[in-house]
């Protein structure tokens, strides 16, 4: 049992890293962008913490494990086609962020595999790597490097980023002196320059003022219009209805409903009633 399980894990690991080699695999007329099959993931939750060495040895002798396995994803499979705008919804703790992190290759699934066709740019959070002690300018280049842009490429984009963020006078000030709104504007301006075959967005809409929200909405509309493959995790059913071609509702680590955005949004809203 344990042997066969090990084999599956290994296979998934290989798949995950062969991002660019998957192109030939699909023979369907509509090419897939992401294929997730039978994903399992659980986390260990500590229950009984050993207060000291004595207790730890005691627990070990008695066979108390000190944690329980919490199943976060339980046999999740789906396929996302190229050009689709897919919304992933679910309540807090339903496992959607874990799923996203597995798709972004940050977490590894215990079982199952993810096949990715093309380059993938994940935005689990805006402004990853932003350092308060660096200036706005330095942070732009650092964040760019984390997204895979060289210094030269960032040079070409720099003016545009600063203009879009409306932060021209502040670029040589340290980030710690920015307001949180300014930080988000800067991060977002860099993010929308990142071009990948697949974009993964985790609740990036949840921040900023009304004007910023407006900018986000325009950005999403443009993504939808340009047939960009997007996976969006959100709590806003308005966004699901407005932008998504398809949606997936996750509940207790399983896919509860999948398909038409309207149906899924209704199902999500029905979770409380």
Closest CB to other proteins among residues 85, 149: 149
Region of 69 (left: φ > 0; alpha: ψ -120 to 50; beta: rest) is: beta
CB of 145 to other proteins, least distance (A): 3
CA 129 to chain centre: 16
Report in angstroms how near the CB of residue 255 gets to other proteins at its nearest.
22
Closer CB to other proteins, 13 or 236, in the complex = 13
Report the residue number, 187 or 240, with the smaller CB distance to other proteins: 187
Nearer to other proteins, 114 or 205 (CB): 114
Alpha helices for the chain (secondary structure H):
2-17, 53-62, 96-103, 136-146, 151-165, 180-191, 210-225, 237-243, 261-269
3-state secondary structure 165-212: HCCHHHCCCEHHHCCHHHHHHHHHHHHCCCCCCEEEEECHHHCCCHHH
Are 175 and 131 a contacting pair, CB within 8 Å?
Answer: yes
Nearer to other proteins by Cβ, of 132 and 270: the residue is 132
CB of 60 to other proteins, least distance (A): 16
- Residue 107 Cβ, how far from other proteins at the closest point, in Å? 6
CB of 264 to other proteins, least distance (A): 27
β partners of residue 263: none
Residue matched to tokens 């963020």: 165
SS3 content of the chain, % helix, strand, coil (to 5): 45, 25, 30
Of the two residues 150 and 213, which places its CB atom closer to other proteins in the complex?
Answer: 150
Residues that bind other proteins (CB under 8 A): 13-14, 17-18, 21, 43, 101, 104-108, 122, 124-125, 128-129, 131, 133-134, 138, 141-142, 145-146, 148-151
Closest approach of other proteins to the CB of residue 57, in Å = 16
């Amino acid at each position: 049992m344990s042997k066969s399980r090990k084999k599956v894990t290994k296979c998934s690991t290989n798949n995950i890293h062969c991002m660019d080699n998957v192109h030939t695999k699909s023979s369907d007329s509509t090419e897939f962008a992401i294929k997730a099959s039978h994903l399992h993931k659980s986390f260990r939750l500590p229950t009984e913490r050993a207060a000291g060495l004595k207790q730890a040895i005691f627990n070990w002798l008695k066979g108390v494990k000190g944690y329980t396995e919490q199943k976060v994803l339980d046999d999740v499979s789906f396929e996302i086609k190229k050009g689709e705008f897919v919304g992933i919804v679910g309540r807090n703790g339903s496992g959607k962020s874990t799923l996203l992190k597995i798709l972004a290759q940050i977490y590894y699934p215990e079982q199952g595999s993810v096949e990715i066709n093309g380059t993938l740019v994940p935005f689990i959070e805006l402004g990853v790597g932003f350092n308060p002690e660096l200036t706005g300018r330095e942070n732009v280049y650092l964040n760019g490097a984390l997204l895979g842009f060289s210094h030269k490429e960032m040079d070409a984009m720099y003016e545009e980023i600063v203009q879009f963020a409306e932060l021209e006078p502040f670029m040589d000030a340290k980030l710690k002196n920015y307001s949180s709104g300014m930080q988000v504007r800067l991060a977002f301006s860099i993010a929308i320059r990142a071009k990948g075959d697949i974009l993964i967005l985790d609740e990036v809409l949840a921040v900023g003022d009304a004007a910023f929200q407006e900018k986000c909405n325009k950005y999403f509309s443009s993504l939808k219009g340009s047939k960009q493959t997007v996976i969006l995790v959100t709590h806003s059913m308005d966004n699901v209805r407005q932008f998504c071609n398809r949606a997936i509702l996750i509940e207790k680590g399983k896919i509860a409903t999948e398909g038409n955005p309207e149906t899924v949004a209704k199902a999500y809203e029905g979770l409380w009633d």
